[in-house]
Amino acid sequence: RKEVEQDPGPFNVPEGATVAFNCTYSNSASQSFFWYRQDCRKEPKLLMSVYSSGNEDGRFTAQLNRASQYISLLIRDSKLSDSATYLCVACDSWGKFQFGAGTQVVVTP
């Protein structure tokens, strides 16, 4: 079983719509959480950190539920440029960043 599990998608989203997806993590000792974005044939880049109280960055909202060990990402008013693979990441106290396999989002005109 992978330590971080994600729905691979693809999530096909009309431009302007809202899309949301989750990931679950198995290591209860995970301390910090992130969403990364990876474009085709590029390196992953940080989209946002995820805080216990939930946090928002423009059109992106992340939530963390430690009791159920899941993390969510919501994208509002989707843009064509949001098409990418979104990687969920959990990090433990040793600095081991565990990545999910990614959720593919395709925003269509």
Partner 1 sequence: DTAVSQTPKYLVTQMGNDKSIKCEQNLGHDTMYWYKQDSKKFLKIMFSYNNKELIINETVPNRFSPKSPDKAHLNLHINSLELGDSAVYFCASSPQRETGELFFGEGSRLTVL
- Give all strands (DSSP E) within 4-102, no chain letters: 4-6, 11-14, 19-25, 32-38, 45-50, 55-57, 60-65, 70-75, 84-91, 97-99
Beta carbons of 79 and 107 less than 8 angstroms apart = yes
Nearest to 103 by CA among 5, 39, 10, 36: 10
Q: Contact letters (x/-) for partner 1, 21-60, by CB under 8 A?
A: ----------xx-x-x-x---xxxxx--x-----------
Residue from 19, 85, 86, 105 touching partner 1 (CB under 8 A): that is: 85
Query: Which lies closer to partner 1 via its Cβ, residue 18 or residue 66?
Result: 66
Under rule CB under 8 A, which residues in 55-84 are in contact with partner 1?
Answer: none
Task: List contacts with partner 1 (CB under 8 A).
Answer: 2, 31-32, 34, 36, 38, 42-46, 49, 85, 87, 89, 91-99, 101-102
